[in-house]
Amino acid sequence: VTATYDFAGRPQELRFSTGASDAEGVFRLKSALRDPDRNTIYLLEGDVAGFRDKPSYDGAMIMRIASALPAEGAAPQQGQAQKPAEAPADGAPSAEPNPGAEANLSAFELKGELKATPDHAELPAFEIAIHSKGRSQMMKGKLALDFGADAKAAGELAASWIDVDTLLAAAAPANAQSEPSTAYVLNAAAERALDAAASVGDGALTVKLDQASIGGDLVGALDLAVAAEDGVVTVERLNAELPGENRIEASGRLTRGEGGPVFEGPIKLEGSKLKTLARWAAGDREMSGQATVGAFTLSAKTTIGAGNLMLDDASGELSGTKFSGALHYRGGE
């Protein structure tokens, strides 16, 4: 079968074929669904059962998205996106990578085994390949989705290295900074987390990265666990090794304030190179030599976002001197 139709005002192209049913009503399905406006193609090849009762699918899935990136310093133009590779004539998925991927192409591919019914889908083990600005990145994970009255999602992601700066620039090229600051990257990531939370009634995600490029420097041993409910993101756990042999432990809530995402919760920082940490987090600002000598610790109830930083019940030690108190810093011109 080959069909074209409109979905949510967008043209869709569907092609599929089936094999004969066996004695138990199981048949083989090969399909390709293309969404040209979004430069997306979905490929399925697997077994369908329970067609007269509750249909189920068990097989392979591939999703590909391809779009052109704007030239350096230029905004993207309409009609500039590149179509994904043509589907095979019989609708069968192909695991072959797109040949000749160019440096100005942003390509995303997800593939793995899919088990699905009309109200539930599960990817027990999938791989994501992202190609952007001539660099390829790989992630692995698993995902479960419920399509009830309140959508639910639970997933895990892991990778040895991810360039968060590049991924965010590829996701929003019109607003991307050529050399994004740490504050910009973290704010953009928080915005996307809140957008995702608004689309699911109940969600959970864990992320473990050996290394991640954030704000132009490397963050190591990133261990993040978040949950979403009613549009609020709860950071259950955030542990990471920050630039300059420093560490962070945090938990709390991420909400949308008037000026953007706002995080509230306890944060603990410790390390031995405060100047490196401050330069990464806040830019190349002047610091006294004494403040950069020796180990430091800082624990506080923190509110940060929308241009504000508040530390309540703060305590710590810097260069052998213990301190406690509170701080409110308001950013701006």
DSSP assignments along 1-55, one per residue: -EEEEEETTEEEEEEEEE----TTS-EEEEEEEEEGGGTEEEEEEEEEE-TTSS-
Quote the pLDDT of residue 100: 44
Where does residue 175 rank: exposed (0-12), middle (13-18), buried (19+ CB within 10 A)?
exposed
Q: Per-residue pLDDT tens for 150-167?
A: 788 999 999 999 988 888
Q: Per-residue pLDDT tens for 261-308?
A: 999 999 999 998 888 888 887 776 665 555 565 689 999 999 998 888
Residue 11 confidence class, pLDDT cut points 50, 70, 90: very high
Q: Per-residue pLDDT tens for 67-80?
A: 654 444 444 333 33
User: What integer is the mean pLDDT of 74-87?
Assistant: 39
Quick check: pTM over 0.95?
no
